[in-house]
Amino acid sequence: MPRRKLPPQTPWTNTPDDVEAAFYDTLTSGNVEALMSLWAEDEDICCIHPGGQRLDGHAAVRDSFAQLLAGGGLQINAEVQHRWHSMSSAVHSVVERMQVEVDGQTQWGFVLATNVFVHTPAGWRLVLHHASPGVPQTPLDIILPGDVLH
Amino acid sequence: MPRRKLPPQTPWTNTPDDVEAAFYDTLTSGNVEALMSLWAEDEDICCIHPGGQRLDGHAAVRDSFAQLLAGGGLQINAEVQHRWHSMSSAVHSVVERMQVEVDGQTQWGFVLATNVFVHTPAGWRLVLHHASPGVPQTPLDIILPGDVLH
């Protein structure tokens, strides 16, 4: 009996944290293809950008990130503040700190995000990114521009 | 050897959908005590109201709902549009339709919510409610004021 061929595993599929780190890395690099490879293929997926409506399915999610990253990658630092993990799903509550230009000046905007991951045959994948505008909740000297996810 | 006493089960703890229905029922009735009993006791909990910062822990979450419901219950209808369930956790993406008074006129506001539930010894409980302002995505004749969660 032939062995069933398992989908290829990649380093970023090992844990939900790996997928999330790769998600923010791809936002920084502006690589839409790499970013979309982090989402589950066979599951419903959806994405809510800050102030936006809910986008359902791969095509709508891809289009939104292609538009968001058309000018290049984002300067973004993310810190996970809550984790709820089970064997096959994981939810993270994240504070994102994003560099934005306002009237020619560099400022930092805060976004609150909920990221949901499920364990698929191909490893852990993203199924939901829900982001909404936030306000600074952490002293600025704790979240520095050089900080990374972990 | 004495049998370990299990926490009391209530009808609304049977499934994540039961807890969610009870959540929106308590928002409608304005019963803060009943609403807070739906949240996990021993887990980190957090809540993000539309446009608000993240509130961590029971005291902050309770205060926010006490303030929100000080004038009475909300006219709110909710429709689950995505479900990701595992044995011990569940995530729902929900569209909430809320009756609001604007300049003396009744209007319907839309909110996008992510609700996260975990299975505890006392049954299913809420651990995260992340809500952000939404826009109508569904024709108004599909979500009517009389609609309920299921």
Instruction: Give residue B137's identity as a one-letter amino acid code.
Output: Q
> Mean pLDDT for chain A?
86
Residue A7 is predicted with a pLDDT of 61
DSSP string, B87-127: SSEEEEEEEEEEEEEETTEEEEEEEEEEEEEEEETTEEEEE
Residue A1 has pLDDT above 90, yes or no: no
* B46, B82, B88 ranked by CB distance to A82: nearest: B46
pLDDT at A5: 65
What are the extents of the domains in chain B?
11-133
Per-residue pLDDT of chain B (150 residues; tens, 9 = 90+): 556 665 666 778 889 999 999 999 999 999 999 999 999 997 799 999 998 999 999 999 999 999 999 999 999 999 999 999 999 999 999 999 998 877 888 888 899 999 999 999 889 999 999 999 987 654 433 333 444 443
Interchain proximity B86–A91, CB inside 8 Å: no
CA distance B59 to chain A (A): 17
Cα separation of A56 and A34, whole Å? Answer: 19
- In CATH terms, A11-133 corresponds, of 3.90.1150.10, 1.20.1530.20, 3.10.20.30, 3.10.450.50, to 3.10.450.50
pLDDT digits (tens, 9 = 90+) for A31-49: 999 999 999 997 789 999 9
pLDDT of residue B106: 85
pLDDT score at A150: 38
- State whether B114 and A118 contact (CB < 8 Å): no
Give Cα separations from B102 to A39, A52, A138, B107, B134 (angstroms): 40, 22, 34, 7, 17
Flag whether the pTM goes above 0.80: yes
ipTM: 0.84
Please give the structure tokens belonging to residue B14. Answer: 């049977």
Residue among A15, A25, A74, A72 at smallest CA distance from A49: A74
Is some CB atom of chain B closer than 8 A to the CB atom of A147? Answer: no
pLDDT at residue A54 above 60? yes
Q: Is A60 on the interface with B (CB under 8 A)?
A: no
